[in-house]
């Protein structure tokens, strides 16, 4: 049972058991406890060596937590970049097939996800889409070069020029996704400020 000595000014000293003090010590270590709670804990720790050891140990900040958070952020970033890359590859692979129209959904989604993942660096994604579209179209043309269907570099240039048309459309669609994501983040950030 707690014994309390009351004075005119309020609580002069409080005899509290160690379990309550152990609950308050993390708050005192984090400097979020009230002044009265700090005084109670400090007064108790003057007479209790076990609680004094807990109070002097800096248990509130642990570097392991920071490492875990960094690893978690890196893992999330890696996953998001993988989704962006896979989305780009799927969209580009659909070029020249019956599924080309799906790119009107895929590329803005890829651009939006790239904005939330990379922020300002997401502006490189449309350029990456153009380069990757041309490279994949070149890879698709290699069998035709070997078989003799495409006989000179002029025909290869025509193939790559045709792919550039799709690449620019995909890049513009990703820019639309980036713009939508930017506007959404700006609108919600603005609402928080007001």
pLDDT number for residue 58: 52
pLDDT number for residue 152: 65
Q: What residues of the chain score a pLDDT lower than 50?
A: 1-13, 60
Q: What is each CA distance from 88 to 45, 104, 116, in whole angstroms?
A: 61, 12, 16
Domain ranges of the chain: 3-56, 63-193
The model's pLDDT over 13-29, given as tens digits with 9 standing for 90+, comes to 456 788 888 888 888 87
pLDDT number for residue 2: 41
Question: Which tokens go with 69?
Answer: 């958070």
Residues in the chain: 194
pTM, two decimals, is: 0.58
Handedness of CA 86, 92, 93, 97 (dihedral sign): positive
pLDDT number for residue 51: 82
């Amino acid at each position: 049972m707690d014994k309390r000595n009351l004075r005119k000014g309020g609580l002069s000293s409080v005899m509290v058991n160690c379990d309550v003090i152990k609950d308050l010590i993390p708050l005192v270590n984090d400097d979020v406890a009230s002044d009265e709670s700090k005084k109670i804990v400090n007064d108790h720790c003057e007479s209790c060596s076990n609680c004094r050891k807990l109070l002097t140990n800096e248990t509130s900040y642990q570097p392991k937590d920071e490492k875990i958070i960094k690893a978690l952020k890196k893992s999330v970033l890696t996953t998001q970049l993988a989704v962006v890359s896979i989305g780009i590859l799927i969209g580009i692979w659909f070029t020249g097939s019956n599924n080309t129209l799906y790119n009107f959904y895929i590329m803005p989604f890829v651009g939006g996800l790239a904005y939330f993942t990379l922020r300002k660096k997401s502006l490189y994604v449309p350029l990456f889409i153009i380069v990757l579209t041309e490279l994949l179209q070149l890879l698709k043309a290699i069998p035709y070069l070997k078989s003799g269907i495409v006989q000179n570099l002029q025909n290869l240039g025509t193939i790559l020029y045709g792919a550039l048309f799709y690449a620019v459309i995909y890049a513009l669609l990703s820019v639309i996704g980036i713009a939508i994501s930017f506007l959404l983040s700006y609108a919600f950030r603005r609402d928080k400020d007001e």
